[in-house]
Amino acid sequence: MIEFAVESLETPALTKAQLADLLFDQIGLNKRESKDMVDAFFDLISERLAQGQDVKLSGFGNFQIRTKAPRPGRNPRTGEAIPIQARRVVTFHASSKLKEQIQGGA
């Protein structure tokens, strides 16, 4: 298993560019291949979710599409009633393995 050292990240978020750099540094892909691989990975996940399919990443978690029913809402500034349309949303549920890793780091 390859270990990715992310301690040197300057921002608290891990970006696609940083993922591509990690592939370049630790696996030896060239920079273009690294960027293309990261982009293809996220494009594939996005496409599947847009098609209404769930995405399961073993040891990481599940991305699921949920359909939210229409409901009444209100404008918090004016109090005016506003209907909220039905919509699809993406939810993420971490795997038990990921939850254990997170709890172990606390």
pTM over 0.85: no
Domain that holds residue 40: 15-53
7, 55, 56, 83, 84 from 102: Cα distances, Å: 16, 21, 19, 39, 35
> Would you say residue 3 lies in a domain?
no
62 and 101 inside one domain: yes
Q: What is the pLDDT of residues 15-69, one digit of tens each?
A: 999 999 999 999 888 999 999 999 999 999 999 999 999 999 999 999 999 999 9
66 and 26 inside one domain: no
58 and 94 inside one domain: yes
The Cα–Cα gap between 16 and 99 comes to 23
- Residue 93 binned pLDDT confidence (cut-offs 50, 70, 90): very high
> Would you say residue 96 lies in a domain?
yes
